[in-house]
């Protein structure tokens, strides 16, 4: 009876981990697709990541069916099938998260504008969690007994939390870096556009364009200070990054990003 209860608890608990990992993967697949550059390594990883997601979803469905059948039938055959499917979905989950962290690491490496010290630290954090996932994956692969499988499930609890934190750390640095990089490029373009104004405008139109550029410069001066404050917040919150801190950061960056896009659109108008 105790052994049966232990297996039921194992399957129930692992179902929670499966559900969490699936949501995590579904939430980030779209953002990964949008942010990836066209480098061969990233493209290859992206394709592999998509394939593993599909495998994971299929195995998750099989796992849920096996778990339900065991709860209903309580037979040794049903138990063995449930344990087998648990092991398979654990292997695929580790593989999925490993590829996800590898993608984040490549993307973060290519990100400009992120604080350099924090960028280097998070890249190291990603490498550490990749190694931890590989180790856990190897342990699950070597597992043949139900008691060992239960230990593997328990071992993933702290590992899963660490993986989630480092994933949000990378995403936050990339989000900030994207806006900071656009800001830096806008600042670099400003004197070039100012120099071109007399070549493309005269009289009242020239004065109007100059006033527009002066307004943009004032906005850039204010935005520089705002981004410094946001950067400091990112650095302070980075060690305990969560989905909430990530959402809050995106909210903070929305207005600066929109204003930068408006400035670049004005530059394009001025240069016509």
Alpha-helix runs per DSSP H in 36-75: 40-73
pLDDT attached to residue 1:
42
The first and second tokens of residue 141, run together, are 């692969």
pLDDT at 110: 93
pLDDT of residue 96: 94
Contact indicator for 97, 21 with CB cutoff of 8 Å:
yes
Burial of 158 (0-12, 13-18, 19+ CB in 10 A): exposed
| Predicted local distance difference test score (pLDDT) of residue 116 | 97
Using 70 as the pLDDT threshold, list the residues of the chain that sit under it: 1-39
pTM comes to: 0.83
Tokens of 35: 């942010």
User: CA nearest 78: which of 89, 67, 88?
Assistant: 67
User: Rounded to whole angstroms, what are the CA distances from 139 to 16, 19, 87?
Assistant: 20, 22, 11
What is the pLDDT, as a whole number, of residue 209? 86
């Amino acid at each position: 009876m105790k052994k049966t209860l232990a297996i039921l608890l194992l399957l129930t608990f692992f179902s929670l981990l499966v559900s969490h990992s699936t949501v995590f993967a579904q939430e980030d697949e779209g953002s990964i697709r949008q942010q990836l550059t066209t480098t061969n390594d990233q493209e290859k990883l992206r394709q592999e990541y998509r394939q593993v997601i599909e495998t994971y979803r299929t195995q998750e469905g099989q796992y849920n069916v096996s778990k339900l059948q065991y709860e209903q039938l309580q037979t040794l055959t049903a138990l063995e099938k449930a344990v087998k499917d648990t092991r398979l979905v654990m292997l695929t989950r580790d593989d999925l998260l490993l590829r996800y962290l590898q993608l984040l690491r490549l993307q973060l490496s290519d990100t400009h504008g992120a604080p350099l010290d924090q960028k280097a630290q998070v890249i190291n954090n990603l490498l550490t969690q990749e190694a931890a996932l590989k180790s856990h994956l190897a342990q699950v692969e070597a597992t043949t007994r139900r008691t060992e499988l239960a230990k593997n499930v328990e071992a993933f609890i702290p590992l899963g939390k660490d993986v989630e934190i480092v994933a949000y750390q990378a995403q936050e640095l990339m989000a900030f870096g994207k806006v900071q990089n656009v800001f830096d490029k806008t600042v670099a373009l400003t004197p070039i556009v100012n120099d071109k104004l007399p070549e493309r405008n005269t009289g009242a139109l020239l004065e109007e364009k100059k006033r527009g550029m002066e307004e943009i410069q004032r906005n850039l001066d204010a935005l520089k200070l705002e981004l410094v404050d946001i950067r400091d917040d990112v650095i302070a919150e980075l060690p305990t990054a969560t989905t909430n801190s990530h959402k809050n950061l995106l909210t903070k960056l929305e207005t600066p990003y929109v204003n930068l896009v408006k400035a670049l659109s004005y530059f394009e108008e001025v240069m016509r």
